[in-house]
Chain A
């Protein structure tokens, strides 16, 4: 089924979120939908899936001979027309089985009760279409994130979707898992589906997409262009809207002679880490790399009292300490933690921005026990300017910001608290290229100012760009530590070896 949108317009008060978007989705193609945060990608998807009604323009379905113009008023209409979507947020019921989740939207029934055999059959059929071998009776809660994603795709297939919209499908997948997802996408293409891929990762686009549409400020600046005619640079230019230059960060030198700002000696935790040694010096960025599930976030969560450290020593500025809670880490040891889980832990979505930033420093802002709104707003203004946060005012709610700006708010509260050690966990997942680059510069700048930074990321290029040293974790152990040469090819080869538990030394470190 071919889907064509022409001159779509969607207006929110004060903003034209879509301002004349053209899109042509042909069967048997993988169509990349690109654009920075706020360019209108999500709005376009919401119009296509019936969440929003377009204020102008048309959507037509079908091939040339027989086309019909549609206007979905509810998500169910879009589903009935064969348009399925897999959102970034998982929309599965964790306690239900794989089969139940896949069949949920159209449960096969017999005599008024759910026909369990038919449910399983349907699920097996959908999974087979994806060439997947999963136990259909397993509860979804027991699956890995990658498998949940695939189950969601199967769920979309169960309603006979001809058009599949995948929103940031690989944001939380490892390289191997992403490869498997790509294989599934290719399979769907061969079967004649249209797969629309919304992503920030250009590698991914060039790996699997055939056609690309680029949105900027609510307009399509490239409408359904064959990807073969474009270079990576072209695509970035289209997204950013101006010619770009490669970032060249000046060389940094780190003094590792002094006492580390944060040091772990033989630390073990209640979540299974054993004998972890790790040190971060002032002004140093230490990258902690590993596959998703290697136990990196779990280590720092234990370190900060969200889980417990059961053995070994934690030293802050050379003194052995016990950290019982994040508040303890913050107020007694000046350690901040920018969580990877932005929406649930990083920001308070339903509170205003001023409070989101001031939450760590109310005791400092208070005069005679009372906090003045003006002081909070001044604090927010400081970090708005310093981090370049795009906001409309201090009373805006955090939930109304884009992902990148939410991340900056989440970072701002720790900077406001004047931390000397900052743990930054997956800072740029789901963030557009421009904001990502700004974040990279910001992290380096913070290190230059003397902060000790422990950076957790699954994005290898990001790690090679930022880290001074890289520690690799595999199955809750540190399997090696490397000085970063900032040379992508040699670093990535060494890191990957360590990730898989091999020694890195066979490959001589590049200068």
Chain B
């Protein structure tokens, strides 16, 4: 017997459908047509015209600001006075931004990013102070402690299903007390006074202090490579590895992720552990830059941690990140801060300015989205 389809087919499935039209979009029931290549890790880059790319805007704004500041205050281009400390700031805040990016990739937040950095820095300081550990051991301990605390946050979020905002907020309060108690108990105050060998070089040297014959390195602080390694590792992780991609998929739709065989719970723990690890690295870097492992490490991290990735085009909603954009975002905020400092703005006025930048940047993101929608693209 033959089976009659209720429908109206011709031929096999291959011949049945028109050949894919690579040039013309399909007017699919109101969903708009699509666009060009994606270069952000994740969605929404597809279909947006190049001018809507947040990174392009950032580069332009940074260039304009640098030109403006240096013509108003030539000291802005002074290597020792401005450029070296500026690079150090950018390096630290880029890593802080990457720590937040790891949580944002899921559509989560890590409000404890500063306190995780503080605990990690304490751990490193303790190693140096009590055990006379070499510099690198302290670094490793800081990373491990950061990752463990991050994994704890991720574990609580997975196990309880409570929003990451609430969990990391609670964790932040808890760690605030823990860090203060620990310094009190082990450092007898608010900082370790010991400095392991090599810390001072890492703190103040640049590659120009190291010469092979008459050829010296560029005036780049020794801390900068830490941020570069973090940038490359995070970019590679989210762009190329199965785990990173699965985290992004989880961020864009947890239900679809579960129904597609992604171990959602484990990915949430991984993302938060990465967030904690990077926070630990940032804590170590800031302690090095300050020359002291103190309880105040990380106090200034929270706002910049969001500013850098969001300026760079990472979605708060999850599913799309840009590691490179995060570095640009950190650069922009550091340049503004440095420039306004040189122009002798007061610290309070500076805060206002940074707040305004955040609102403007986020509005621009929304405007880009609306413009893109007008062009028929559904982000």
Contacts and interface: CB of A to CB of B under 8 A. Distances in A.
B7 interface: yes
Contacts of A258: none
B256 interface: yes
By CB atoms of chain A within 10 A, which of B4, B7, B242, B245 has the most? Answer: B7
A12 B32 contact: yes
Nearest to B18: A390
Interface string B26-47: 1111111111111000111111
A357 to B, nearest CB: 10
Contacts of B13: 386-388, 438-439, 441-442, 445
A5 interface: no
Interface stretch (A25-33, A97-105, A129-137, A322-330): A322-330
Contacts of A363: 242
B352 interface: no
Contacts of B5: 246-247, 249, 437, 440-441, 465
Nearest to A328: B261
> Which of B16, B24, B259, B379 gathers most chain A CB within 10 Å?
B259
A366 B242 CA distance: 7
A348 B249 contact: yes
Given A326-B258, A351-B43, A351-B319, A462 B10 contact: no
A344 interface: yes
B10 A245 contact: yes
B14 interface: yes
Contacts of A327: 261-263
B260 A360 contact: yes
Contacts of B217: none
A395 interface: yes
B344 interface: no
Most buried by A among B9, B45, B249: B9
Contacts of B377: 400
B160 interface: no
Nearest to A384: B20
A505 interface: no
A386 B13 CA distance: 8
Interface in A385-419: 385-393, 395-397, 399-403, 405, 413, 417
Given A249-B3, A350-B43, A461-B6, A37 B29 contact: yes
A443 to B, nearest CB: 10
Nearest to A359: B260
Contacts of B240: 370-372
Contacts of B45: 395
Q: How large is the interface on A (under 10, 10 to 19, 20 to 34, 35 or more residues)?
A: 35 or more
Interface string A327-351: 1111100000101010011111111
A346 B256 contact: yes
Contacts of A330: 261
A413 B368 CA distance: 32
Most buried by A among B27, B240, B253, B376: B27
A391 B44 CA distance: 16
Interface string B239-263: 0111001101100110111111111
Contacts of A437: 5, 7-9, 16
A385 B46 CA distance: 22
A210 to B, nearest CB: 23
B349 interface: no
B27 A15 contact: yes
B33 A14 contact: yes
A164 B178 CA distance: 63
Nearest to B319: A350
Interface stretch (A39-47, A59-67, A169-177): A39-47
A295 B210 CA distance: 72
A355 interface: yes
A212 interface: no
Contacts of B43: 350-352, 397
Given A348-B253, A359-B262, A486-B1, A434 B31 contact: no
A163 B9 CA distance: 34
Interface in A53-102: none
B350 to A, nearest CB: 36
Contacts of B26: 15, 38, 390-392, 401-402, 405
B7 A440 contact: yes
Contact of B46 (A248, A359, A395, A417): A395
A16 B26 CA distance: 10
Contacts of A14: 24-25, 33
A366 B241 contact: yes
A486 B241 CA distance: 48
A251 B2 contact: yes
A12 B376 contact: yes
A76 B258 CA distance: 38
B256 A43 contact: no
A399 B31 contact: yes
Interface string A441-456: 1100100000000000
B201 interface: no
Interface string B339-365: 000000000000000000000000000
Contacts of B28: 37-38, 400-403, 405
A192 B227 CA distance: 71
A400 B34 contact: yes
B256 A348 contact: yes
Given A326-B261, A350-B43, A397-B34, A390 B17 contact: yes
Given A350-B319, A390-B18, A434 B9 contact: yes
Contacts of B366: none
A112 interface: no
A164 to B, nearest CB: 19
B236 interface: yes
A168 to B, nearest CB: 11
Interface in A426-474: 433-442, 445, 461-462, 464-466
B22 to A, nearest CB: 6
Contact of B36 (A15, A51, A329, A395): A395
Nearest to A386: B14
Interface in B49-80: none
A182 interface: no
From B1, B30, B35, B379, name the one whose CB has the most chain A CB atoms within 10 angstroms.
B30
Given A371-B242, A390-B26, A396 B4 contact: no
B324 to A, nearest CB: 16
Given A348-B253, A485-B1, A339 B29 contact: no
A43 B3 contact: no
A402 B29 contact: yes
B130 interface: no
A438 B27 contact: no
24 contacts: A51-B30, A244-B8, A246-B5, A247-B4, A247-B7, A251-B2, A306-B258, A326-B260, A345-B255, A352-B46, A360-B260, A388-B14, A390-B18, A392-B21, A395-B34, A395-B46, A396-B34, A401-B26, A403-B29, A437-B8, A440-B7, A441-B16, A465-B4, A488-B4
Given A244-B9, A390-B17, A392-B33, 18 more contacts: A12-B32, A13-B376, A17-B30, A43-B30, A246-B8, A247-B7, A249-B2, A325-B258, A331-B261, A352-B43, A362-B245, A386-B13, A391-B20, A400-B32, A403-B28, A434-B8, A438-B9, A439-B13
For the complex of A and B, list the 7 residue pairs with the smallest distance between their C-beta atoms, beginning with the closest.
A437-B9, A388-B17, A402-B28, A247-B5, A437-B7, A327-B261, A362-B242
Interface of B: 1-10, 12-14, 16-18, 20-38, 42-47, 236, 240-242, 245-246, 248-249, 252-253, 255-263, 319-320, 375-379
Interface of A: 12-17, 37-38, 40-43, 46, 51-52, 218, 236, 240, 244-251, 306, 325-331, 337, 339, 341, 344-352, 355, 359-360, 362-363, 366, 369-372, 384-393, 395-397, 399-403, 405, 413, 417, 433-442, 445, 461-462, 464-466, 485-488
